[in-house]
């Protein structure tokens, strides 16, 4: 372990930014001792009060009001970008040019063109670049991936995934940046990117989509008169503005292996605060996961027929990826929260930065996230063409 501290910063002090901030604070409490001491340098946000509160809560040295201050600070080594999608490109390019390692939240950018520019910057950089697909770090999802890759389900026959949330079900919810950006930047880009990545993480790349349909249930929202943090409510006035992206999206997909998948995402699915779930079926078995029960999954395989045949509840425990060394209480059925997965993601990123000899599986690259954006754009084009098949670039 190097005695020289590794200095980190977070740009964005909303709910996801705070998750990154808390993650860096805990990276040396999990897994091996391969990292140097971590210096929690700064949190940046245009909302100075928010930045100061996050810096106080998570032990960062200072709060600043602009991302440019982070880019200009030569003492900072690695930075998380956790702000609106359209800002990802200029911030990432500036950080890379300044020689800083970058972990960017998904989706990669506000447009394909910006994402391609970020991939070009990644390709020529001498720094680590990564994208935050946090759900890859779920012990249950990682265990299901092991079942799939180990052939325990047999030849795959069907993937069905959904991400149903209700954070936008209230028509009086403020018109934040989440409701701007055009088709594909709403529920599809915000939460659909996660379920697409999970599907490909389990089943391999998607080559084409069809049956795309995008709908917007709430076409106008009140303009906020104060700061909007995450999915929280905010003061609003009488003025309204147009929502120009989708509340729901559905599509089917063809994986490179020939597997067929079906997907649905919604931010107006009342009663489901964070409803990621999926089923993956094969000729010899089935696995299913629901984020509302993160410390377990269902598994069924071709055991001899009898009274024990059927789906079995598998409790997450130390025998699964990320659990051993990742949870303070090393006993089955404990843990499974999103906060720990941000810790694992930050640890994996910093392992890549330091070239640790015992790293966790690497984070997704900018190029991986560009592929997800191409899948999202293919769904949009399918919807524009009445559901016609569209290849993923």
| CATH number of the domain bearing residue 99 | 3.40.50.720
Residue 265 in contact with residue 195, Cβ under 8 Å? yes
Of 327, 329, 352, whose CA–CA distance to 341 is shortest?
Answer: 327
Q: How many residues does the chain have?
A: 393
pLDDT of residue 129: 97
Instruction: Please tell me whether residues 208 and 124 are part of one structural domain.
Output: no
Residues 144, 89 share a domain: no
Q: What is the mean pLDDT of residues 173-196?
A: 94
Whole-number percent of the chain with pLDDT over 90: 83
Domain extent, residue 219, equals 139-330+371-384
> Does residue 203 belong to any structural domain of this protein?
yes
**Band (2; pLDDT cuts 50, 70, 90):** low
Identify whether residues 283 and 177 lie together within a single domain: yes
57-66, 137-146, 225-234, 323-332, range with the lowest pLDDT: 225-234
Residue 345 lies in a domain: no
The DSSP-derived string for 15-66 is HHHHHHHHHHHHGGGSS-S-S-PEEEEEEE-SSHHHHHHHHHHHT-SEEES-
Whether residue 308 is predicted with pLDDT greater than 70 in this model: the reply is: no
Mean pLDDT, the chain, whole residue set: 93
Rounded average pLDDT over 109-117:
95
pLDDT the model gives residue 72: 98
* pLDDT band at residue 224 using 50, 70 and 90 as cut-offs: confident
The mean pLDDT value for 155-178 works out to 94
Nearest CA to 141 out of 199, 205, 204 is that of: 199
Report yes or no on 100 lying in a domain: yes
What is the per-residue pLDDT for 201? Answer: 96
Quick check: 339 pLDDT over 80? yes
Lowest mean pLDDT across 118-132, 323-337, 341-355? 323-337
**Averaged pLDDT, 9-27:** 96
Q: Are residues 74 and 218 in the same domain?
A: no
For residue 120, report the phi and psi dihedrals to the nearest 5 degrees.
Answer: -60, -40
Task: Report which DSSP code applies to 191.
Answer: I
**69 and 178 share a domain?**
no
CA atoms 202, 204, 210, 216: torsion sign: positive
Segment 319-338 shows an average pLDDT of 86
Task: Say yes or no: 172 and 318 in one domain.
Answer: yes
Domain count, the chain: 2
Confidence of residue 155 (pLDDT cuts 50, 70, 90): very high
* DSSP 8-state secondary structure symbol assigned to residue 365: P
Q: Is residue 60 in a domain?
A: yes
Would you state the structure tokens that stand for residue 345, as one six-digit string?
């993601």
Confidence at residue 156, expressed as pLDDT on a 0 to 100 scale: 97
pTM: 0.92
The CATH number linked to 268 is 3.30.360.10
Q: What is the pLDDT of residue 230?
A: 65
User: Is pLDDT at 391 greater than 90 in this prediction?
Assistant: yes
In a domain, 241, yes or no: yes
Q: Are residues 265 and 300 in the same domain?
A: yes
In terms of domains, do 284 and 216 share one?
Answer: yes
Residues 110, 167, single domain; the answer is no
| pLDDT-wise least confident of 124-128, 202-206, 232-236 | 232-236
What are the angstrom distances between the C-alpha of 228 and each of 84, 109, 143, 239, 362? Answer: 12, 20, 37, 16, 33
Assess if residue 364 is contained within a domain: no
Is 90 part of a structural domain of the chain? yes
* Residue 306 confidence (pLDDT): 61
Q: Which two tokens stand for residue 3?
A: 């005695």
Tokens of 55: 């810096």
Instruction: Give yes or no: residues 36 and 185 share one domain.
Output: no
Strand partners, 251: 263
Residue 365 lies in a domain: no
C-alpha span between 135 and 191 (Å, rounded)? 11
Same domain, residue pair 116 and 222: no
Q: Last residue of a domain, which of 112, 135, 158?
A: 135
Count Cβ atoms within 10 A of the Cβ of residue 112 and give its class: 0-12 exposed, 13-18 middle, 19 or more buried.
middle
Helices (H), the chain: 15-26, 48-58, 67-72, 88-97, 112-123, 139-149, 187, 193-203, 338-354, 366-384
Both 145 and 103 in one domain: the answer is no
Tell me: pLDDT of 1 over 90: no
CA angle 243, 248, 249 (to 5 degrees): 120
Average confidence (pLDDT) over 66-87? 97
What is the number of H-type helices and E-type strands within the chain? 10, 17
């Amino acid at each position: 372990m190097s005695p020289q501290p590794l200095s980190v910063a977070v740009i964005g002090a909303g709910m996801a930014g705070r998750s990154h901030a808390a993650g860096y604070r805990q990276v040396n409490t999990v897994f091996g001792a391969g990292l140097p001491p971590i210096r929690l340098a700064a949190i940046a946000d245009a909302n100075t009060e928010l930045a100061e509160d996050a810096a106080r809560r998570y032990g960062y040295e200072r709060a600043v009001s602009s991302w440019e201050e982070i880019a200009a600070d030569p003492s900072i080594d690695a930075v998380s970008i956790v702000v609106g999608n359209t800002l990802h490109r200029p911030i990432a390019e500036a950080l890379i040019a300044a020689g800083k390692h970058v972990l960017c939240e998904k989706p990669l950018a506000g447009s394909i063109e910006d994402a391609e520019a970020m991939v070009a910057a990644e390709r020529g950089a001498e720094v680590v670049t990564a994208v935050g697909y946090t759900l890859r770090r779920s012990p249950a999802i990682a265990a299901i991936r092991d079942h799939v890759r180990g052939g325990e389900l047999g030849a795959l026959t069907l993937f069905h995934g959904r991400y149903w949330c209700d954070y936008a079900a209230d028509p009086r919810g403020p018109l934040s940046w989440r409701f701007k950006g055009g088709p594909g930047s709403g529920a599809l880009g915000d939460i659909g990117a996660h379920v697409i990545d999970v599907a490909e993480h389990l089943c391999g790349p998607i080559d084409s989509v069809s049956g795309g349909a995008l709908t917007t249930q709430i076409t106008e929202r009140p303009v906020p008169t104060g700061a909007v943090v995450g999915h929280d409510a905010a003061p609003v006035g009488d003025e309204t503005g147009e929502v120009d992206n989708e509340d729901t999206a559905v599509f089917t997909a063809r994986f490179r292996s020939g597997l067929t998948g079906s997907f649905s995402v919604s931010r107006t699915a009342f009663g489901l605060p964070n409803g990621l779930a999926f089923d993956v079926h094969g000729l010899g078995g089935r696995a299913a996961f629901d984020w509302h029960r993160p410390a377990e999954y269902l598994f069924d395989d071709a055991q001899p027929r009898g009274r024990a045949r059927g789906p079995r509840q598998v409790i997450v425990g130390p025998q699964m990826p990320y659990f051993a060394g990742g949870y303070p209480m090393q006993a089955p059925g404990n843990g499974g929260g999103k906060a720990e997965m941000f810790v694992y993601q930050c640890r994996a990123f910093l392992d890549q930065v330091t070239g640790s000899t015992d790293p966790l599986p690497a984070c997704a690259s900018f190029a991986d996230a560009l592929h997800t954006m191409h899948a999202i754009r293919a769904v949009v084009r399918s919807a524009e063409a009445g559901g016609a098949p569209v290849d993923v670039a």
